[in-house]
């Protein structure tokens, strides 16, 4: 029994009132020591302007993409939908701490309470809102794990837009229930690569058995949106405005840590394109840039080690080279990661804001093998009860590494992690893990060299 704990130290959940929902998003651009590199037009090599992006995005989001304002007001209509599940709970992981016998304190912010089950609707609702406001009637998007596709279909349903989802084929096959969820909210979903776009057909012609990747699915969704006036493109991660919308997570967590009478020494999140990590970390990085000491750790799969082994370069955001060029850590736009079960982490690049923060030494990254990650997920489920999404399990594994390092150093640290989603639609992955069928894949050096050849000749960052 835990009879010795008193006051905030004995509490498990730290909850905010609905009235405490953040009313502004935090824009880290205005605090960054080095400004991120401009996004370039692939034809001219010159920075893109609003007109280049207008076929794909509403003006309000294009404005947020380049905004230098420290804070951006959240529209009332968006706040009203957020209030269906926000503020999300912050937990003290007492039982996990006991299970591993650490001297450190572990907290987690739980984004799995949203209707689709992850952090993704924080931006999906905002993107659907601005598109509707500017007269679009339909959105096209990609999805890896299915979390983003279901979040966007949920947002489109509530706001009143049509939605088309290109779902990475391996996830489409691994997660039939995610497909049904997307359909339940009224969206159309097809496996990617598909026969419905030129990009998809070209890839299928060369690789009929392609498992797909986020890069391929993005090509299909961009092509769909660019070809229709009524349709805009929505991206679930990577872009500045997406990371901006996620900062409600970290702002709430700052207030909740205060309720707990604590402040983190370590902040941990998993990184696919970088949005949930940024959502938690950016408001804390604001404190770090202002002088507080915080170790900020990004966790990624060894099969797709963008931050730990990728190069910082200009590259396309998609496989078919339809997007502008962004300066980021990349493994090359035609890299197709092994079909690991954390589908949402299978992306060749990462958010440019995160890349720049990494170059400036404000964050660090580690890469893990999937059997180690699932072992940590099962340990977490067995102590805290929540069955995590395989993506989020990378953050759990990173948290356990940070706690172990603190114990070995004889230190007591406060660790805060983002639990970005639940894994209720990922049971096939757990089945494979229990059956000993999960393959540990670390990216092969030869394959990395091959994939990086695809960026030769592109502009180099200043």
Q: Least distance in Å: CB of 125 to ligand PLP? A: 16
Q: Does the protein bind ligand PLP through residue 340 (CB under 6 A)?
A: no
Residue length of the chain = 462
Q: How far is CA 272 from CA 49, 55, 73, 307, in A?
A: 27, 26, 27, 10
The one among 147, 153, 199, 399 contacting ligand PLP by CB under 6 A:
147
Closest residue by beta carbon to ligand PLP: 344
Q: Does the protein bind ligand PLP through residue 244 (CB under 6 A)?
A: no
Q: Least distance in Å: CB of 377 to ligand PLP? A: 12
The one among 276, 320, 330, 399 contacting ligand PLP by CB under 6 A:
276
The one among 392, 393, 416, 455 contacting ligand PLP by CB under 6 A:
392
Residues contacting residue 159 through CB under 8 Å, at least 6 positions apart: 81, 125, 128, 129, 132
Q: Would you say 264 or 344 has its CB closer to ligand PLP?
A: 344
| Pairing, β 162-168 against β 90-92 | unpaired
The one among 131, 150, 237, 306 contacting ligand PLP by CB under 6 A:
237
Q: Least distance in Å: CB of 285 to ligand PLP? A: 16
Q: Does the protein bind ligand PLP through residue 421 (CB under 6 A)?
A: yes
The one among 90, 189, 271, 358 contacting ligand PLP by CB under 6 A:
271
**Do 191 and 167 touch, CB atoms closer than 8 A?**
yes
Residues contacting residue 172 through CB under 8 Å, at least 6 positions apart: 179, 189, 191, 192, 212
Q: Would you say 276 or 320 has its CB closer to ligand PLP?
A: 276
Q: Does the protein bind ligand PLP through residue 272 (CB under 6 A)?
A: yes
**Do 234 and 152 touch, CB atoms closer than 8 A?**
yes
Q: Least distance in Å: CB of 410 to ligand PLP? A: 33
Among 366, 352, 369, 254, smallest CA distance to 309 is for 366
What are residue 325's DSSP bridge partners? 40, 316
The one among 317, 344, 352, 461 contacting ligand PLP by CB under 6 A:
344
Q: Does the protein bind ligand PLP through residue 124 (CB under 6 A)?
A: no
Phi–psi pair at 386, nearest 5 degrees: -80, 130
Contacts with ligand PLP in 173-202 (CB under 6 A)?
none
Q: Does the protein bind ligand PLP through residue 268 (CB under 6 A)?
A: no
DSSP 330-367: ES-TT------S-GGG--S---HHHHHHHHTTS-EEEE
């Amino acid at each position: 029994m835990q009879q010795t704990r008193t006051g905030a130290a004995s509490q498990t959940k730290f909850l905010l009132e609905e009235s405490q929902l953040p009313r502004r998003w935090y824009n880290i651009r205005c605090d960054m020591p080095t400004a991120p590199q401009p996004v370039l037009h692939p034809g001219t090599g010159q920075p893109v302007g609003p007109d280049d992006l207008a076929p794909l995005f509403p003006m309000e989001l294009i404005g947020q993409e380049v905004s230098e304002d420290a804070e951006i007001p959240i529209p009332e209509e968006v706040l009203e939908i957020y209030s269906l599940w926000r503020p999300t709970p912050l937990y003290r992981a007492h039982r996990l701490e006991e299970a591993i016998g650490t001297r450190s304190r572990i907290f987690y912010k739980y984004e799995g309470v949203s209707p689709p089950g992850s952090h993704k609707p924080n931006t999906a609702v905002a993107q659907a809102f601005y598109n509707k406001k500017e007269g679009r009637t339909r959105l096209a998007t990609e999805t890896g794990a299915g979390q983003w596709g279901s979040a966007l279909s949920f947002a489109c349903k509530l706001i009143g837009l049509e939605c088309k989802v290109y779902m990475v084929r391996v996830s489409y096959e691994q997660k039939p229930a995610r497909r049904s969820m997307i359909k339940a909210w009224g969206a159309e979903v097809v496996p990617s690569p598909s026969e419905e776009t030129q990009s998809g057909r070209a890839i299928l012609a060369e690789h009929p058995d392609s498992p797909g990747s986020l890069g391929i699915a993005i090509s299909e969704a961009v092509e769909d949106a660019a070809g229709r006036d009524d349709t805009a493109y929505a991206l679930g991660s990577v872009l500045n405005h997406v990371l901006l919308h996620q900062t409600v997570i970290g702002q709430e967590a700052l207030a909740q840590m205060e309720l707990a009478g604590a402040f983190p020494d370590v902040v941990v999140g998993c990184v696919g394109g970088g949005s949930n990590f940024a959502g938690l970390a950016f408001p804390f990085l604001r404190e770090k840039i202002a002088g507080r000491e915080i170790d900020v750790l990004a966790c990624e799969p060894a099969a797709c080690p963008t931050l730990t082994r990728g190069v910082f370069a200009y590259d396309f955001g998609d496989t078919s080279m339809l997007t502008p060029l962004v300066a980021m850590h990349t493994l090359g736009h035609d890299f197709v990661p092994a079909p690991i079960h954390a589908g949402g982490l299978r992306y060749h690049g990462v958010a440019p804001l995160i890349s720049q923060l990494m170059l400036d030494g404000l964050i660090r990254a580690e890469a893990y093998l999937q059997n180690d990650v699932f072992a940590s997920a099962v340990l977490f489920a067995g102590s805290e009860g929540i069955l995590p999404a395989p993506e989020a399990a990378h953050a759990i594994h990173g948290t356990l590494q940070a706690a172990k390092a603190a114990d070995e150093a004889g230190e007591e640290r406060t660790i805060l992690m983002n639990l970005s989603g639940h894994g209720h639609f990922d049971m096939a992955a757990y089945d494979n893990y229990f059956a000993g069928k999960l393959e540990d894949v670390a990216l092969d050096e030869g394959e990395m060299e091959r994939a990086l050849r695809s960026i030769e000749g592109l502009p180099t960052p200043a």
